[in-house]
């Protein structure tokens, strides 16, 4: 699979400055120690530093996760990347919008759960471990990984380890799809299940009822999307220990009076 890369000069300079800063704070810090933090071989980092290979998006994401980078630091790192297939794309370069066919193929909620488990330091590519974490069957976990690889959502690096080809996944919210409806129904069912069994400190299910101006719904949907992205970045800072789903509901509870005299 073709992967995004950054200019060699940028990758070298960025890594050199990062390692210099780490060494300054701790003289005992080494390239080998850094490679262990990122969970790659020292040879991989050495080749990037020497300009013999380009940094992949996967490696950049691993570094960002290992160092618990915040939203601004990640944005700086990800801004180095160029993707010839999406030069004119105005959305985040580390976000992939799924086609409807792709979404329909992975409509079961646990596909997205698996892609997020990869960000956890304790992740194990073991169907039994994944099944236990998500409360699904081992067969479902195994088939989901195979499907995610086949669809290009996941890939393997030179060492055979799984990685996500994009940090975030999304799809259009304005297209009717049986797959999207199926997924959203599952998430709503998960919300009801959480309401019944999860402690209050581990969940937040709230709502507000308000009379609205219907003409502002398109703008409201854009603001909700911005909020979701900001909250995802906020919740993703630091060590990742659990997978959550964030849902914001905006639904009509009455018939419209629009057009009435």
pLDDT band per the 50, 70, 90 thresholds, residue 6: very low
User: How much is the pLDDT for 259?
Assistant: 76
Please enumerate, as own/partner, the contacts of 38-42 that have beta carbons within 8 Å and a separation of 24 or more.
38/62, 38/63, 38/66, 39/66, 39/161, 40/157, 40/159, 41/159
Q: How far apart are CA 66 and CA 141, in angstroms?
A: 25
Query: Of 64, 86, 108, which residue is a domain's last?
Result: 86
Per-residue pLDDT at 158 exceeds 80: no
Per-residue pLDDT at 92 exceeds 50: no
Pair (67, 98) in one structural domain:
no
pLDDT tens digits, one per residue of 238-252: 888 999 999 888 778
The phi and psi torsions of 223 (rounded to 5 degrees) equal: -65, -35
Pair (257, 143) in one structural domain:
yes
pLDDT band per the 50, 70, 90 thresholds, residue 4: very low
Torsion of CA 163, 100, 130, 199, to 10 degrees: 120
Least confident of 18-32, 203-217, 223-237: 18-32
Pair (56, 104) in one structural domain:
no
For the chain, the farthest-separated pair of C-alpha atoms sits apart, in whole angstroms, at: 77
For 60, the domain range is 5-86
Strand 5-6 and strand 81-82: the pairing is antiparallel
Nearby residues of 150 by Cβ (< 8 Å), 6 or more positions away: none
Nearby residues of 167 by Cβ (< 8 Å), 6 or more positions away: 61, 78, 92, 94, 95
Query: Of 86, 110, 140, which residue is a domain's last?
Result: 86
pLDDT band per the 50, 70, 90 thresholds, residue 101: low
Pair (138, 164) in one structural domain:
yes
Number of domains in the chain: 2
Pair (116, 77) in one structural domain:
no
User: How much is the pLDDT for 85?
Assistant: 41
Pair (16, 73) in one structural domain:
yes
Per-residue pLDDT at 213 exceeds 80: yes
Beta bridge partners of 81: 6
Domain containing residue 33: CATH number: 1.10.260.40
Per-residue pLDDT at 138 exceeds 60: yes
> Which residue is associated with the tokens 């297939």?
85
Domain containing residue 261: CATH number: 1.10.10.10
Query: Of 57, 86, 115, which residue is a domain's last?
Result: 86
On average, the pLDDT of the chain sits at 79
Pair (46, 139) in one structural domain:
no
User: How much is the pLDDT for 175?
Assistant: 52
DSSP-assigned letter for residue 71: H
Pair (149, 177) in one structural domain:
yes
Pair (145, 253) in one structural domain:
yes
64/206: higher pLDDT: 206
pLDDT tens digits, one per residue of 167-202: 667 665 555 567 788 888 998 999 999 999 999 999
Contact 205, 187 (CB under 8 A): no
Pair (53, 69) in one structural domain:
yes
Pair (57, 104) in one structural domain:
no
User: How much is the pLDDT for 131?
Assistant: 93
User: How much is the pLDDT for 48?
Assistant: 81
pLDDT tens digits, one per residue of 38-87: 878 888 888 888 777 777 777 787 787 777 777 667 777 777 665 434 33
Q: How far apart are CA 168 and CA 205, in angstroms?
A: 23
Pair (102, 204) in one structural domain:
yes
């Amino acid at each position: 699979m073709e992967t995004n890369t950054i200019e060699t000069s940028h990758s070298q300079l960025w890594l050199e400055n990062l390692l210099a800063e780490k060494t300054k704070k701790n003289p005992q810090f080494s390239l080998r120690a850094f490679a262990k933090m990122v969970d790659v071989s020292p040879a991989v980092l050495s080749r990037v530093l020497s300009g013999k290979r380009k940094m992949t998006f996967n490696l950049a994401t691993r570094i960002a996760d290992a160092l618990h980078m915040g939203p601004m630091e990640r944005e700086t790192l990800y801004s180095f990347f160029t993707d010839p297939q999406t030069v004119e794309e105005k959305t985040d370069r580390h976000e992939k919008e799924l086609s409807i066919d792709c979404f329909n193929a992975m409509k079961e909620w646990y596909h997205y759960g698996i892609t997020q488990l990869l960000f956890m330091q304790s992740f194990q590519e073991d169907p039994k471990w994944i099944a236990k974490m998500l409360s699904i069957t081992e067969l479902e976990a195994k088939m989901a990984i195979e499907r995610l690889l086949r669809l290009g959502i996941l890939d393997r690096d030179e060492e055979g380890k799984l990685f996500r080809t994009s940090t975030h996944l999304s799809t259009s919210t304005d297209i009717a799809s049986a797959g999207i409806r199926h997924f959203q129904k599952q998430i709503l069912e998960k919300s009801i299940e959480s309401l019944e069994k999860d402690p209050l400190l581990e969940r937040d299910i709230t709502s507000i009822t308000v009379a609205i101006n219907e003409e502002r719904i398109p703008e409201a949907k854009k603001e909700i999307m911005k909020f979701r992205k900001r909250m995802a970045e906020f919740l993703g800072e630091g060590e990742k220990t659990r997978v959550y789903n964030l849902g914001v509901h905006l639904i009509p509870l009455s018939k419209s009076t629009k057009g009435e005299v």
